[in-house]
């Protein structure tokens, strides 16, 4: 009888480990989400459920391949591994993610259905139930209903004090302005950005200055070629819920 009990306990332990590794949905999260966008960039607004520990989200949509995810102001980063079924990219954090979040997705392909998010538990050990997002409208703060116009300077100027390039963006209302280099997903190597920038919040609108700094990979190219040519996707998220994107091509020199 003792041997039988021990063997049963071993089977239970193996089953528990297999369930954790399988990473299948196991419970509702209570999250809600909306999405907007076209072309290579999508914006997904998430409101997390209460009382549920979440450490990131996997994203997917029929016809789309998610090649990068950015959630400003949150710890974590993009991953293409250990994904929930039906998703192609995820943002994973080492700290719980709560409240209202805005995720910017860099995607390829053409969507034939809605965006779906799948919240993840710690370390992607398991996933909550998928949540199908609704298309953003004027009531949910979508840019598809209320567009916003903004301008980006065609060039960026070198600042020795900042050790980076200043790129000016003009926005018509209080907003958060951010920029990132779109990166294509590579099956064999992980693409590395050449330039990075911190988001800037404007309380009044007007001219906002982003500081672009070369990464080690970018610095190597700059040292060899004396210039650095990059595409930067600039995003504006206004305090009243509107958002818009522009992609500019910049040649950076010291």
- Angle formed at CA 176 by CA 192 and CA 103, multiple of 5 degrees: 55
- Going from N- to C-terminal start, the domains of the chain cover 32-135, 151-252
Distance CA 205, CA 17 (A): 52
The structure tokens listed for 195 are 């330039």
Which residue's entry shows tokens 């063997």?
Answer: 7
Tokens encoding 116: 């779906």
pTM: 0.51
Same fold, 32-135 and 151-252: yes
Q: Which listed CATH number (3.30.420, 1.10.3470, 2.60.40, 3.40.50) goes with 32-135?
A: 2.60.40
pLDDT in tens, 34-52: 998 866 888 999 999 887 8
The two structure tokens encoding residue 245? 């994107």
* 8 Å CB contact between 230 and 194: yes
Token readout for 80 is 């293409």
As a whole number, mean pLDDT of residues 137-160 equals 72
C-alpha–C-alpha distance, residues 131 and 77, integer Å: 21
The pLDDT tens digits for 194-229 are 999 998 988 888 999 999 999 999 999 999 999 999
How confident is residue 21, by pLDDT bands cut at 50, 70 and 90?
very low
Cβ neighbors of 230 (< 8 A, separation 6 or more) are 181, 194, 195, 218, 249, 250, 252
Dihedral sign, Cα of residue 156, residue 240, residue 243, residue 180: positive
Residues of the chain with pLDDT > 70, as a percent, come to 81
What does the pLDDT read at residue 190? 74
The CA–CA distances, whole Å, from 237 to 66, 67, 138, 201, 213 equal 21, 21, 14, 9, 22
CATH topology of domain 151-252: Immunoglobulin-like (2.60.40)
Q: Give DSSP secondary structure letters for 205-253.
A: -EEEEEEEEE-HHHHHHHHHHS-EEEEEEEEEEETTS-EEEEEEEEEE-
Q: Compute the distance between CA of residue 149 and CA of residue 165 in angstroms, rounded to an integer.
A: 23
Beta carbons of 198 and 165 less than 8 angstroms apart: no
């Amino acid at each position: 009888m003792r041997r039988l009990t021990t063997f049963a306990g071993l089977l239970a332990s193996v089953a528990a480990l297999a369930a954790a590794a399988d990473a299948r949905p196991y419970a509702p999260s209570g999250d809600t989400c909306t999405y907007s966008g076209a072309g290579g960039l999508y914006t997904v607004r998430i409101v997390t459920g209460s009382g549920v520990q979440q450490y990131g989200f996997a994203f997917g949509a029929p016809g789309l391949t998610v090649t990068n995810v950015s959630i400003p102001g949150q710890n974590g980063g993009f991953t293409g591994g250990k994904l929930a079924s039906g998703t192609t990219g995820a943002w994973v954090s080492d700290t719980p993610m709560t409240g209202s979040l805005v995720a910017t997705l860099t995607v390829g392909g053409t969507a034939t259905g809605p965006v779906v998010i799948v919240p993840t538990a710690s370390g992607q050990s398991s996933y909550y139930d998928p949540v199908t997002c609704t298309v953003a409208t004027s009531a949910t703060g979508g840019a598809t209903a209320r567009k916003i116009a903004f301008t980006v300077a065609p060039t960026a100027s070198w600042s020795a004090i900042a050790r980076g390039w200043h790129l000016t963006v003009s926005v018509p209302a209080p907003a958060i302005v951010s920029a990132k280099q779109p990166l294509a997903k590579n099956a064999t190597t992980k693409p590395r950005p050449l330039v990075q920038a911190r988001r800037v919040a404007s309380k009044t609108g007007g001219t906002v200055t982003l500081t672009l700094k070369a990464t080690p990979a970018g610095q190597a190219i700059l040292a060899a070629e004396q210039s650095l040519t990059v595409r930067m996707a600039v995003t504006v998220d206004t305090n009243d819920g509107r958002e818009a994107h522009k992609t500019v091509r910049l040649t950076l020199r010291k």
